[in-house]
Structure 1
Amino acid sequence: MSSKVLTVLIASAVLASAATTNTNLQTTFPKSSGTTNLAAVKTIAAKAIFDGGMYQWDRSPSTCKDQAEGGDADAVFVLEDGATLSNVVIGPNNGEGIHCKGSCTLNNVWWTDVCEDAATFQQSSGTSYVNGGGARNADDKVLQHNGGGTVAVKNFWVSNVGKVYRSCGNCGTQYARHSTFTNIKVDDASVVAGVNSNFGDTTYIRDSCVLDSKLCWVYNGNSNGAEPTKIASGPTGTACTTAAIKTSGC
């Protein structure tokens, strides 16, 4: 093999490695700048941008009722359509964390201890983005997708949770929901994504580190409020696809 060919092969390998290693993935929980306790939920207006300054934002008195389903009033932040929330630590004393009424963007948002859900996406269409940040200590779900469209997650760290993402299995209005996960690290979760194949859901997990966790659970969802039936554990193909997943040494 010529030295020129060898050089090209080495360069290609380095580029391929760089493509699957993103330094924007932070796996150390950040220290907050201080604490802000809200007596009521804080609403971020449509298309507005709010920077939380890396303060820990929480509710006082607490609205956390363990796994009892809550509403907008139990959240810390409600984001109207097109709003962006950045540089926030969500404390443990809230039931719902963040509610996105339309498509939203969450940049560098962290949840210290998740109560019912960390973030709920309610848009009827469009794409919501979770860029960076992370969550730990959730008995059940971190990202709950109740509306339609797509939730796109990248550079996200999760530790000691139930489901990283769940497409609603029994909402009164159902959609074909889509989700993508790129360069995430999951350590000790029941599953990364739960999706409903009978409604046309899809999830794609790639270039990620998944430790002690299942990748996908596939359900038959319903719109009558009954508990959905799990029918498969993936990857399964259409509903759940993966690429370049590491399950050790990462």
Structure 2
Amino acid sequence: APKAAAAGCVVVDNTSHFRYDDDIPLVVPEVNPEKIADYKNRGIIANPNCSTIQMLVALKPIYDAVGITRINVCTYQAVSGTGKKGIEEVVKQTAKLLNGQPIETNVYPKQIAFNVLPQIDVFMDNGYTKEEMKMVWETQKILGDQAVKVNATAVRVPVFYGHSEAVHIETRSKIDAKAVRALLSNAPGVTVMDERKNGGYPTAVTESSGHDDVFVGRIREDISHPNGIDLWVVGDNVRKGAALNSVQIAEILVKNYI
């Protein structure tokens, strides 16, 4: 990326290498499109982590309306986040288990088929994994608000495509579920699917997989906190979580800056 930038190109970088550099913008177009202008600093724009992108697309309208002081999130992330090798490991383990054969574990630290693993990436000194800390660092940088507290638990699940997140937020000013529903219904890149009935919510497999929007359901007021709101957020990690976000950045760059 630096070589391309030095040659006069503008690079939208999908790796994590530049995300935490102060002079390189970290952009989600629905959240902080104005930061694209900072590409002039080094000719590079960083694409955030997939789990951070879909969470902030859903939370930004609420943040703008009433402020958010704390985010507590548990993620349930698809194996495609690990790449093709992650998908292949689930397929191989599933086939062997269904045929009563012993499995091999090569990609993940424990069996992933028919299982959930509370580890994504390496462990940090504070007991969090790197994936969890990415959500902390990136959320604060993208919102431009170091005061927002973020607590994340990232879990790998045996789903091929689509990340799911149980998100619990504490807002600066009180807002009810009806108002949140209205805000998100008008938000760019968000589809609200929130009916209090069997199946009245989105899932990674049945709604978000293969679609560009982030889907939000299970919107409710947190009975344990006076200013708490709970949401269920799902998104396609290889579309909005990666490729689409990069394309949207490039489109804005070409339209407004180049």
- Please give the range of the TM-score, normalised by the shorter of the 2 chains: under 0.3
TM-score (norm 1): 0.26
**Greater relative contact order (Cα < 8 A, sep 6+):** 2
Q: Structure 1 or 2: larger helix share? A: 2
